[in-house]
Chains A and B, each alone.
Chain A
Amino acid sequence: MTDSTVVYALAGIWIAMLGLRSLLVNRDHFKRIVAANLLGSGVFLTLVALAGRGEGAADPIPHGMILTGIVVAVSGTGLFLALLGRLRELESSEEEET
Chain B
Amino acid sequence: MTPELLIDLILSISLLLLAMVTLRQRTPGDAVIQLMIFGLLLALSWLRVQAPDLSLTEAAIGPGVTGALLLASLRRIGFHRPFPPPASLPFRAAASLGCGIVGVVLSWILLQSWDRPQGLTELAYQHLPESGSKNPITAVILNYRGYDTLLEIGVLLVAALSVYTLAAPVRGKAVKPPGAIFRLYLRMMTPLFLLVVPYMVWIGGYAPGGAFQAGALLSGLGVLTLLGPRPWPIQLRRKLLRASLALGFILFLVVAVWTWRYGDFLTYPPAEASKWILVIESSCALSIGICLTVMFAGCAGWLSEEREGFR
Contact = CB atoms under 8 A, between A and B. Distances in A.
A74 B76 contact: no
A52 B77 contact: no
Looking at B22, B49, B92, B168, the one whose CB has the most chain A CB atoms below 10 A away is B49
B254 interface: no
Contacts of A52: 49-51
Interface in A20-63: 20-22, 24-28, 30-31, 33-35, 37-38, 41-42, 44-46, 48-54, 56-63
Contacts of B96: 21
B53 A63 contact: yes
B132 interface: no
Contact of A82 (B58, B118, B120, B295): B295
Interface residues of A, number: 75
Contacts, number: 259
Interface of B: 2, 4-5, 8-9, 11-13, 15-16, 19-20, 22-23, 28, 31-32, 35, 38-39, 42, 45-46, 48-51, 53-54, 57-58, 61-62, 65-66, 69-70, 72-73, 76-77, 83-84, 86-87, 91-92, 95-96, 98-100, 102-103, 106-107, 110-111, 114-115, 118-121, 124-125, 136-137, 139-141, 144-145, 148-149, 152, 155-156, 158-160, 162-163, 166-168, 212, 288, 291-292, 295-296, 298-299, 301
Interface of A: 1, 3-11, 13-22, 24-28, 30-31, 33-35, 37-38, 41-42, 44-46, 48-54, 56-68, 70-79, 81-86, 88-89
